[in-house]
Amino acid sequence: MERTLIKDLGQKVGEKAFIQGSVSVRRDQGKMVFFDFRDRSGSVQGVVLPKSEAIETAKEVRSEYVVSAEGTVNKRPDKNVNLDVQNGDIELEVHSINILSKAEIPFELGSDVNLDTYLDHLPFTLRSEKSKNIFKIQATIAEAFREAMRGRDFIEFQTPSIVGGDAEGGAAAFKVDYYYDQKAFLATSPQLYKQMMAGVFERVFTVCKIFRGEKHATTRHLSEAVCMDFEMTFIKDHTDVMNMLEHVMKHIVAKVIEKHGDTLQNMGVEMLLVPEKFPVLKLREAQEILGVSQSEPDLEPEHERALWEWAKKEHNSDFVFVTHFPLSKRPFYTYEDEEDRGYTKYFDLLFRGLEINSGGQRVHDYRELVERIKGKGLDPEKFSFYLEAFKVGMPPHGGSSTGLERMTARLLDLHNVKEATLFPRDLNRIDSLLSTDEK
Amino acid sequence: MERTLIKDLGQKVGEKAFIQGSVSVRRDQGKMVFFDFRDRSGSVQGVVLPKSEAIETAKEVRSEYVVSAEGTVNKRPDKNVNLDVQNGDIELEVHSINILSKAEIPFELGSDVNLDTYLDHLPFTLRSEKSKNIFKIQATIAEAFREAMRGRDFIEFQTPSIVGGDAEGGAAAFKVDYYYDQKAFLATSPQLYKQMMAGVFERVFTVCKIFRGEKHATTRHLSEAVCMDFEMTFIKDHTDVMNMLEHVMKHIVAKVIEKHGDTLQNMGVEMLLVPEKFPVLKLREAQEILGVSQSEPDLEPEHERALWEWAKKEHNSDFVFVTHFPLSKRPFYTYEDEEDRGYTKYFDLLFRGLEINSGGQRVHDYRELVERIKGKGLDPEKFSFYLEAFKVGMPPHGGSSTGLERMTARLLDLHNVKEATLFPRDLNRIDSLLSTDEK
């Protein structure tokens, strides 16, 4: 018999159906046994009547057993109808049940455990409704990012993870034992590659891993993270990039609401505030609002949170751009504002009080770029591969980078970015698994 | 003035237009200067007349200079119309030209250089029409893979690249210097993670990096590659996985033809042979056809090519499945065929003479899996994280893994898989670039 997905059982009232899935709950009432079955599409109540041939197996089944079951879809008596839940007006009268996999669980699924216990048992804890929702929404965010980019003529490219040469000192880069004692590192960002690729395709994006060996344990840092980057040429200045990013963010939020609106509500997520235009502040303006010194080169986490309060109050916005960070603290490729010397056409995008994106215009002139590299005390010779892209002609360009886990965490109001990461790696944690070779 | 993309110039005959792009060719005819301009959308001829104010700058411009130009779109005189090329019936009479970036090129773009020279100059050589087409088609392959999977209820997940513990000896795994002397490696496959995730979502896919430190230089191996993996539960056996993969492959081929049919023709790619059902051979049947010993545990590259000839001739197919490799040579999670003991419900998919995919049914029973791990001389204790997924209930499942670069290379008849890799890493090559930290 063909499998029926649980969400479609309502269309088979009075008919036989065959389902496959897990047992969320079993209630043994002596003569009868009740189940909550679930599969990827939803949940339904099952009942095994006293005289059913399935009764013996039913009594053996426990929570999280994987089973298949055959039965008749019945309307529930009126007094038992619960229209607040999926399939609350039907139940499956089970005629036969087949155990596909037994289960021994460390605690009830969805238990309120601490983060360490949650992470120790990920192959189990990820199966809870909350976790599944988080990562379904994360998949939608990445999909919507790609969709928005393609809609604007951007081409996706695969950026390398293994990079050679320690061109910048690489304090935060993990070292890889490459062949024959060659030095290699894990990429801390696709930055230089996306610039080279912008020279190829004009408009490019990549969704890729970045790796950072920074030795601090916070609620917002990961050693391995996913970033959603784009780079575009023929820009007027950084505001073209900000406009593109604004479009992308709006598209992502709209898609998440469209596909997961009910879930957001069930999770108690506050309504997202997305104004027509995101507010923009120069760093010095932000510092004035915050009442902190304008000699600080960056914002502290508590400042980012305070700017969210300001943006909500003044602009009804969960997003706020901060621009014009001081040149001295920015990487060599950052473009200086000719009309505001010492400051850059660089921006951060804060979302609900956390920096989830940064970007800006880049230096595109070969000679200037060489000077800027030297100015940072670096050796242009070590950047010769990258610099070739500029030597052979490079249009004015800029781009930005969004952290997927950070965006997911803030969108769903998760306290720790690790809750928005399937298998988080940090200072203290890496699961002990070496993937095996299928090929 | 707003930018007009070059592909849209034909709609502006008699009007003024502003374009931005690169100069592919400049022909200085003394009094007049002709250009071929290109942008991401196409090419057009430009002409600078003797009395134009642009003539001085025009004489300064060289191949690959990045420029913007303003002018009038004119119909060409009939005798100069060439309908075989894009915009062959118009030209841009340039009134002003502005150099955005000068260029100094190592050789003419699109020159027929050897692979080493090509790879040494990627920031430049990737800009050729051929390279751009290869990686546009590669982007379409990955996009079509995702589209096919989503259409069948699969959810995308982010698999880790850094894995802890050297559970299998890890000869082919690159070692990473993780924090405080912790042992860590780069993932050689997402295999174990996708199995765990199948236990979460029933149907999952991932497009991810894999890393293999194998010390052989061939035309088909890369140290860093992209794989397109899926895993599905509640299967009858490996044939459910093969049917799903067949659907995915057909979808990819159809999308590539739909979006890039003309390009395939221009590149001289042979028509793709995609039958309704892909032919399936057990390894022993394939060996009989090839006339090689049935005691060999695998196929050699020349055998894979010979099977392509067979599949074309007998089944009008560029695809052929080979199943039932011997159990002794397969990883511990491979499912043994109860009706063909000693052989596995494992398959390779060959495409145009190259293995681009492998997959099969997996062991889902916890106890059996522990025994199989021990049988390989491995320590189940080291797999405890992975094994928890089975302890808490795991449905019958299977999946497969497709190499993106291999598929691209065979689809476009490229000799070396490195031609289908933007920045290939191998035994001898890694570009000297450390990405920088934008955040």
pLDDT digits (tens, 9 = 90+) for B259-269: 999 999 999 99
State how far the Cα of B186 lies from the Cα of B208, in Å rounded to an integer: 12
B181 touching chain A per CB within 8 A: no
- Give contacts of B168 with chain A, Cβ < 8 Å: 434, 436
A146 three-class SS: helix
% of chain B surpassing 70 pLDDT: 97
- What does the pLDDT look like over A387-422, one tens digit per residue? 999 999 999 999 999 999 999 999 999 999 999 999
The ranges assigned to domains in chain A are 6-101, 118-420
Look at residue B436 in the predicted model and tell me its pLDDT. Answer: 43
**Residue type present at position A220:** R
Q: Please return the burial class of B273, using the count of CB atoms within 10 Å of its CB with bins 0-12, 13-18 and 19+.
A: middle
Look at residue B432 in the predicted model and tell me its pLDDT. Answer: 54
pLDDT-wise least confident of A60-69, A163-172, B275-284: A163-172
A347 touching chain B per CB within 8 A: no
The closest alpha carbon to B137, from B42, B259, B272, belongs to: B259
CA angle A113, A119, A124 (to 5 degrees): 80
Is the per-residue pLDDT at A437 higher than 60? no
The structure's pTM equals: 0.96
Is the per-residue pLDDT at A219 higher than 90? no
A364 touching chain B per CB within 8 A: yes
Asked if A192 lies within 8 A of B436 by C-beta distance, the reply is yes
Task: Return the CATH number of B6-101, one of 2.40.50.140, 3.50.50.60, 3.40.720.10, 2.40.50.100.
Answer: 2.40.50.140
Chain mean position to CA A282: 28
B199 touching chain A per CB within 8 A: yes
- What does the pLDDT look like over A71-104, one tens digit per residue? 999 999 999 999 889 999 999 999 999 999 999 9
Q: Are A410 and A356 in contact (CB under 8 A)?
A: yes
B408 touching chain A per CB within 8 A: no
Asked if A401 lies within 8 A of B359 by C-beta distance, the reply is no
Q: Read off the pLDDT band of A168 (50, 70, 90).
A: low
% of chain B surpassing 90 pLDDT: 87
Is the per-residue pLDDT at B168 higher than 70? no
Look at residue A215 in the predicted model and tell me its pLDDT. Answer: 78
Equal fold, A6-101 vs A118-420: no
Asked if B223 lies within 8 A of A20 by C-beta distance, the reply is no
Look at residue B58 in the predicted model and tell me its pLDDT. Answer: 95
Domain at B118-420, CATH homologous superfamily: Bira Bifunctional Protein; Domain 2 (3.30.930.10)
Q: Looking at residues A319-348, what average pLDDT do you find? A: 96
Look at residue A435 in the predicted model and tell me its pLDDT. Answer: 40
Is the per-residue pLDDT at A218 higher than 90? no
Residue A113: count of CB within 10 angstroms of its CB: 16
Look at residue A214 in the predicted model and tell me its pLDDT. Answer: 77
Q: Are A161 and A186 in contact (CB under 8 A)?
A: yes
Determine if residue B168 is labeled as part of a ligand binding site. Answer: yes
Tell me the residues of chain B between 60 and 99 that have a Cβ less than 8 Å away from chain A: 64-66, 68
Asked if B193 lies within 8 A of A103 by C-beta distance, the reply is no
How close, in Å, is residue B78 to chain A by CA atoms?
A: 33
A150 touching chain B per CB within 8 A: yes
Beta strand spans in B286-434 (E) = 319-323, 346-351, 354-361, 397-403
Tell me the residues of chain B between 235 and 294 that have a Cβ less than 8 Å away from chain A: none
Q: How far is CA B216 from CA B212, B405, B426, in A?
A: 11, 17, 9
Q: Looking at residues A284-310, what average pLDDT do you find? A: 96
CA dihedral A219, A223, A227, A231 (to 10 degrees): 120
Q: Read off the pLDDT band of A300 (50, 70, 90).
A: very high
Q: How far is CA A338 from CA A172, A237, A323, A342, B67, in A?
A: 31, 11, 14, 9, 21
Asked if B155 lies within 8 A of A167 by C-beta distance, the reply is no
